Amino acid sequence: MQYIKGVTFAPFTRRGLFSSEEARQSLENLIARTNADFIILVPPALQETPQSETMDYAADWSVGDEELIEFIAFAHSRGLRVALKPTVNCKNGTWRAHINFFDHDVPCEPKWCNWFKSYTEFQLHYAAIAEKTGCEMFIAGCEMVQTERREAEWRQLIADIRTVYTGPVSYNTDKYQEDHVKWWDAVDVISASGYYPLGDWDNQLDRIEKVVKHFNKPFFFAECGCMSTEGSNAVPNDWGVKGAVDMQGQADWYNEMFTSCAKRDWVRGFALWDWRGLQYTEEEAKTDTGYDVYLKPAEKVVADFYKNHKA
């Protein structure tokens, strides 16, 4: 697999954003300032609660198909490779990793069979767009931790995706879950969210390496990042961390991730979380505590690594 120097661009975007000049300029900035050659786009779906059986991906808050198709074409015209990663969230704010049902169907209770039917429809809709637009990868969801034990349903979903999309298929498991997914043989590329604490990268890479070598599949971090908030580099997966701005702490985290992963030739790249479609100003960057690296010291760390790393 070609090495991925990637960024997740404008995830869960609202309708109309990808048609705007602001989003196109933001993508131009991403290319110029990070040396990225790959982006992940994240069309959203929403279900009411973790126990809802159906999800909606066609409402006005979701990206429109035509603007998505046009934006993929624009990204390709700028020399970027593109992956689609359709991702479901819960309207009530519960993290999608907690979507869950009884293992066995029970009358009058929500059922896995109904949920997977709706989830498959969602995935196939965007798999068809990925095929139509020549996307270089399709990622069949993200951090669906409680669903991952449903091995038969995931194998069937991936088989269904392959009837629509002919490129490489991946799935983005969550941090610490890489060695719990039993069906990695069904995908072409193993991917995971790499939100590991400063000082723990080598330990976690030792663990992940055993999985990658067992299944003999390419691997990359389809998400990874750290906020520019004091304390975030100790718990980079916690987007709720509150504290003072810490630009150097974010840069230190990126330095360690890249340095540790560069020693492992089986790590075939990254898609950083994340880059906004509507960007803050240079003045606002000084007080921004989020994951975005735009106009922060971590941006230079990323740009230098992506420029100098030889795949």
Please give the pLDDT value at position 60. 85
- Please list the helix, strand and coil fractions of the chain in percent, rounded to the nearest 5, in that order: 40, 20, 45
Distance of alpha carbon 79 from alpha carbon 311, whole angstroms: 17
What is the model's pTM? 0.97
- Total domain count, the chain: 1
Q: In this model, does residue 311 exceed pLDDT 80?
A: no
Distance, in Å, from the CA atom of 149 to the CA atom of 180, rounded to the nearest integer, reads 8
Residue 310 has pLDDT above 90, yes or no: no
pLDDT above 90 for 136: yes
Q: pLDDT averaged over the chain?
A: 97
The residue range of the domain holding 107 is 4-308
pLDDT at 105: 87
The per-residue pLDDT for range 109-123, each reduced to its tens digit, is 899 999 999 999 999
Work out the pLDDT band at 59, boundaries 50, 70, 90: confident
Q: Residue 28 sits in a domain of what CATH number? A: 3.20.20.80
Q: pLDDT (tens digit, 9 = 90+) per residue, 218-273?
A: 999 999 999 999 999 999 999 999 999 999 999 999 999 999 999 999 999 999 99
Predicted pLDDT of residue 91: 94
Residue with tokens 């990808």: 18
CA angle, 50 then 54 then 59, to 5°: 105
Structure confidence at residue 241 (pLDDT)? 94
Confidence at residue 14, expressed as pLDDT on a 0 to 100 scale: 87
Q: Please, are residues 206 and 219 in contact by the beta-carbon 8 Å criterion?
A: no
Asked if residue 151 lies in contact with residue 182, where contact means CB atoms within 8 angstroms, the answer is yes
Q: State which H helix or E strand residue 221 sits in.
A: strand 219-223
d(CA 76, CA 64): 18
Burial of 104 (0-12, 13-18, 19+ CB in 10 A): exposed
Nearest to 144 by CA among 89, 102, 189, 201: 89
What pLDDT, in 10s, does the model give residues 64-118? 999 999 999 999 999 999 999 999 999 999 999 999 999 998 888 899 999 999 9
Q: What are the tens digits of pLDDT across the range 18-28?
A: 999 999 999 99
